[in-house]
Structure formats: structure tokens, C-alpha cells
């Protein structure tokens, strides 16, 4: 019988191989195990295998799950966040991946206490039903976030639905190029959060520093974000 975390080991091996192919060090890349849909027991197994970064996409789910699991887990919020849900997760989150609008920046930057850092979500593919700012508006949102006291550490995107593997490459390259254009004015933009189960190797080759992988690590999860 295969070890329940053999899927995780395969992902780690593929990440390392993709990094080496393009002359990168695998240690530059943070693997976030997207645990939505996975059981607490599965998360605990991944934790025991060394994963400390986990991603959730629903505020209520994260607020319920976090107290049940080890306190040194670094929770990443990877879904669309409503302003009225910010107080549920703000004190739990290590990094917000989905800062996509000025009003969310205002909510995230208010409330007292430390302000967790964030990534600006960019809708590189200009999909009408997907969250994220247009690339041309990224600088404006960065300025709004700075005005709210938020440290923005980088950018996040998702490839279009169905654009897996090699088909995702242009979108990841576009996010990297956008980050590079913004760097002179925003030198803190070190992170590129891109790549999920169907395209994480391509994302590594295009410069991803954070991968959001769910289904490949937790195969029984119904759907990955």
C-alpha cells in the first residue's frame, strides 16, 4: 500500500527537477499545500512530512480549522476574500494571496495589531469572471495597499481554466514580466505566486517562488484552488 504522502513526495521531486532544468535552486520555492477539501487528518500527515505552509480559500473554513491544528502552521489565504470576513482570518493568516481591490486593502489594513503581508492578484488573462486587477491597474493597487500600511511582497495569478501545462506558460511569463517592470518602484515585490496542480512545473520554469498545489498532494480532495 502506498504511503498516504507519496503524492507529496512526487510533487516535491517534480518541483526540484523543474527548478534544476532552468538553473534555479529548489530551496527558492515555497510549496503551499492547498488543504481546502482535505481532512484534518490529511493535513496532519502533510505536516508530519514537513509541510508548514497550507492554503485555504474560505474564511469560515480557515477560522474553524486553524485552532485544531499545530500553531506553527503558516496559513495562506488563497481565495477571494469578502471585506466582512476579514476579521475572521486576519490574525491567522501568514500571507494573503488575493488582494484584488482597494476596498479589501482598506479592510486588511484596519483593525489594529500587525498587518499580515499580501500579494496583489492580477487577472493576466483578462477573464471576465475571475478576480484580480488588470495588469495596467496593478501599480494603482500597490499604491493603495501602501497607503493602508500593507507590505505587498509580490504578485499572484491563475492561468485560465483549461490552460494546463505548457498552455499556461504565457500567463506565468506575463506575470513575471509585470513584476519586473514594477520592481524599480516597488523593490519589495520578490514573490510570484503561480502554479497549481496542472501547471506547477511550468510555473517553476517561469520563475514562481510560491506554488499553490492541492489535488496533487491531497488526491482525495474534490477540487483544488
Q: CB-based burial of residue 118 (10 Å sphere; 0-12 exposed, 13-18 middle, 19+ buried)?
A: buried
SS3 45: helix
Q: First vs last Cα of the chain: how many Å apart?
A: 28
Contact 85, 64 (CB under 8 A): no
Rounded Cα gap, residues 80 and 213, in angstroms? 17
Q: β-strands 152-156, 53-56: how paired?
A: unpaired
pLDDT of residue 92: 97
95 with 117: CB under 8 angstroms?
yes
CB 188, CB 182: distance < 8 Å: no
Q: Which helix (H) or strand (E) holds 156?
A: strand 152-156
CATH topology of domain 6-16+28-213: TIM Barrel (3.20.20)
> Do 152 and 120 meet the contact criterion of CB atoms below 8 Å apart?
yes
H helical segments located in 22-153: 40-48, 59-65, 86-89, 102-108, 138-147
Segments making up each domain of the chain, as ranges: 6-16+28-213
3-state secondary structure (DSSP) of residue 48: helix
pLDDT tens for the chain, 225 residues: list them: 345 579 999 999 999 999 999 999 999 999 999 999 899 999 999 999 999 999 999 999 999 999 999 999 999 999 999 999 999 999 999 999 999 999 999 999 998 889 999 999 999 998 888 899 999 999 999 999 999 999 999 999 999 987 888 999 999 999 999 999 999 999 999 999 999 999 999 999 999 999 999 999 998 754 433
Instruction: Copy the grid coordinates of residue 136.
Output: 495596467
Bridge partners (DSSP) of residue 211 are 31
Place of cell 527548478: 19
Residue 74, helix vs strand vs coil: strand
Amino acid at each position: 500500500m502506498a504511503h498516504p504522502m507519496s503524492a507529496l513526495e512526487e510533487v516535491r521531486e517534480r518541483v526540484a527537477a523543474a527548478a534544476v532544468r532552468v538553473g534555479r535552486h529548489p530551496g527558492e520555492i515555497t510549496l503551499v499545500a492547498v488543504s481546502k477539501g482535505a481532512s484534518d487528518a490529511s493535513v496532519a500527515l502533510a505536516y508530519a512530512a514537513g509541510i508548514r505552509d497550507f492554503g485555504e480559500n474560505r474564511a469560515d473554513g480557515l477560522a474553524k480549522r486553524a485552532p485544531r491544528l499545530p500553531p506553527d502552521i503558516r496559513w495562506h489565504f488563497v481565495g477571494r476574500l469578502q471585506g466582512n470576513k476579514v476579521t475572521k482570518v486576519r490574525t491567522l493568516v501568514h500571507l494573503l494571496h488575493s488582494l484584488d481591490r482597494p476596498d479589501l486593502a482598506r479592510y486588511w489594513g484596519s483593525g489594529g495589531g500587525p498587518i499580515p503581508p499580501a500579494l496583489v492578484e492580477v487577472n493576466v488573462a483578462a477573464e471576465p469572471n475571475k478576480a484580480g486587477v488588470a495588469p495596467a491597474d496593478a501599480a494603482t493597487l500597490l499604491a493603495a495597499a501602501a497607503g493602508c500600511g500593507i507590505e505587498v511582497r509580490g504578485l499572484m495569478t491563475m492561468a485560465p481554466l483549461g490552460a494546463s501545462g505548457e498552455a499556461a506558460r504565457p500567463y506565468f511569463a506575463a506575470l513575471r514580466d509585470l513584476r519586473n517592470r514594477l520592481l524599480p518602484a516597488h523593490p519589495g515585490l520578490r514573490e510570484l505566486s503561480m502554479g497549481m496542480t496542472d501547471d506547477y512545473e511550468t510555473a517553476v520554469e517561469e520563475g514562481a517562488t510560491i506554488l499553490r498545489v492541492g489535488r496533487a498532494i491531497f488526491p482525495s480532495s474534490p477540487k483544488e484552488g
